[in-house]
Amino acid sequence: MVELVDQLNHYAHEYYVLDQPSVSDDLYDKTYRQLEELEASHPELIQSDSPTQRVGDVLNEKFDKVHFDHPMLSLGDVFSQEELMTWVDGVQKEFGPDTEFVCEMKIDGLSVSLLYQDGSLVRGATRGDGNTGENITNNIKTISSIPLRLQEPLNVEVRGEIYMPKASFAKLNEEREAAGLATFANPRNSAAGSVRQLDPKVTAKRNLNVFLYTGVLPADAGVNSQAELLTSYPQWGLRVNPEFKLTHSKEEIWDYVEHVSQVRHDLAYDIDGIVIKVNDFDQQEELGYTVKAPRWAIAYKFPAEQAKTTIRDIEWTV
């Protein structure tokens, strides 16, 4: 039984975190059914990290409140190259012209906090107002790319974005249209609506995914920069967005912004900008925070999408 659980969790790690599956979906499904049969005949041996335990029956009447020891902060925004370069200038004045920055995708989803104790997932929460969120643990467990147990028995609170891939969003809206239901306006709204369902069985059908990008880490984790965090997370079993880039100059940062603005429509998920962060954690602490956002990070926001429908020329009658 333990072997089957470990095998299935390993297959899921390869598929969702490393993006390098070593077995076919059929073999995964076959192994999963074997585990289901074994658990049916020995229910007393069912493990909490078994993939069969992801979709609970429990219906949430409402979501309990969760208070964060460390607030989930927001980001300052800039909307032009000039503003972005001014921000980078300000940081380089503090730490010199070759300060390291990490550039990341700003996923258009909803922020979540995942609390792991001794490596087991014990709580999932929405961001809420940054200090108080909602407990959505039962729904979070239905997301296959979120591990129920880390590769190491760590005590860590990791944070990132739950999102609905563009393809899943289109399919969901087709189904809702066919069923005469209201459609979702965009993937962000459908992800938010899906993860805040009272019934986890509904969440489980919505094909949600996650990218993790920050967290409250144990001091002995040996993670001293954002780049180290983003390379450590996959080793722990946590999915990160692979498009991040370590940069050392304004030119490199702007090249990355231009590159992403070219490819963003080909991405499998919606983004609404790029997040640029000072890489070194000690430098981050030196810069500190404003009331609601770090001074060591900024979001460069893409211009809002051109309205799809073209306004026909209006014939003015004189």
Ligand X SMILES: CC(C)(CNC(=O)c1ccc(Oc2ccccc2)cc1)c1ccc2c(N)nc(N)nc2n1
Least distance in angstroms from the C-beta of 182 to ligand X? 27
In 10 A of CB 146, how many CB atoms?
25
Q: Provide, rounded to whole angstroms, the least separation between the CB of residue 68 and ligand X.
A: 9
Rounded CA gap, 79 and 172, in Å? 32
Ramachandran region, residue 22 (left: φ > 0; alpha: ψ -120 to 50; beta: rest): alpha
Residue 242 CB, nearest distance to ligand X (Å)? 12
Verify binding: residue 254, ligand X, rule CB under 6 A. no
164 Cα distance to chain centroid = 10
What order do you get walking across the sheet with 271-278 strand by strand?
Answer: 77-78, 297-301, 271-278, 101-107, 245-247
Site mask, ligand X, residues 153-192, x = CB under 6 A? --------x-------------------------------
Question: Does 70 interact with ligand X (rule: CB under 6 A)?
Answer: yes
Q: Which is nearer to ligand X, 39 or 157 (CB)?
A: 157
Total of residues contacting ligand X (CB under 6 A): 14
Position 214 contacts ligand X (CB under 6 A): yes
Quote the DSSP letter at residue 51. G
* Location of structure tokens 């004189």: 318
3-state secondary structure 134-200: EECHHHHCCCCCCCCECCCCCCEEEEEEEECCHHHHHHHHHHHHHCCCCCCCCHHHHHHHHHCCCCH
Among 275, 276, 278, 298, interactor with ligand X by CB under 6 A: 275
User: Per CB under 6 A, does 106 bind ligand X?
Assistant: yes
Which entry of 30, 65, 106, 171 is annotated as an active-site residue?
A: 106
Decide: is 128 part of the binding site for ligand X (CB under 6 A).
no
According to the binding rule CB under 6 A, does residue 72 interact with ligand X? Answer: yes
Catalytic residue list contains 301 = no
234 near ligand X, judged by CB under 6 A: no
By CB under 6 A, tell whether 267 contacts ligand X. no
Q: Does 104 bind ligand X (CB under 6 A)?
A: yes
Q: Which residues, listed in sequence order, are joined to residue 245 by a DSSP beta bridge?
A: 103
Chain residues that interact with ligand X, rule: CB under 6 A? 70-73, 75, 104, 106, 161, 213-214, 275, 289, 294, 297
Q: Hey, which residues are catalytic here?
A: 106
